[in-house]
Amino acid sequence: MQPLERLADKERGFIKNYNHKISKEIIKFAVKNKAKYINLELLEGFGKDEEGKSIQKYKWMCSNWSYFELKTMIEYKAGLYGIIVRYIDPYHTSQTCSICGHFEEGQRLTQAQFICKGCGEEMNADYNAAKNIARSTKFATERKECEYYKKNKKDVDKEEEMWYTLFIRKEVVKLNG
């Protein structure tokens, strides 16, 4: 095994272990708080045809996407406790104030900082988004139901093709050496 392959395997193992720990803590929290549901953003649909079936050429990417692995672990573990995992439309979850509901572009100043331009509330941006996700009732079972996809379908499809091309190139380079 080449040194880079060993490093990639170690990284993969680290990510899988980390996802296991995160999913375990999420389920532990849900059980402790007697939650019936866990809401997650619907960040999938990539690699599906119009009927929702997996397209063979995208399977490698989905199996190597950390969020895909994490959500799969959460679904499995939640099922063991009878907790239902629901998916919500991710549109503006990180740009809407979880206190007053105000949306305006530019409220998420950095990856970590959120300041509402409506009520002035300041908080960690991920915490704000998590509260919005937990409270959301904009459920979606496929990306076609999501607001972002509806508004940007042409761009989303083009971006997916670009990412697929990049992943294929990465695999070809890996295979060739």
pLDDT at 155: 63
Does residue 53 register a pLDDT over 60?
no
The residue type of 128 is N
- Whether the model pTM is above 0.75: no
Q: What percent of the chain has pLDDT over 70?
A: 72
Q: Is the distance from CB of 21 to CB of 77 less than 8 angstroms?
A: no
pLDDT at 144: 81
Domain locations in the chain as residue ranges: 1-89
Most confident by average pLDDT, 51-55, 148-152, 173-177: 148-152
Q: Are 97 and 116 in contact (CB under 8 A)?
A: yes
Who has greater pLDDT, 135 or 151? 135
Backbone angles phi, psi at 120, to 5 degrees: 85, 0
Taking residues 125-154, what's their average pLDDT?
A: 86
The strand pairing partners of 124, in sequence order, are 113
Using CA atoms, how far residue 7 sits from 28, 61, 62, 161, in Å, is: 31, 19, 21, 28
User: How many C-beta atoms lie closer than 10 Å to residue 153's C-beta?
Assistant: 12
The token pair at 35 is 């939650």
Q: What's the pLDDT score for residue 171?
A: 47
* pLDDT score at 159: 58
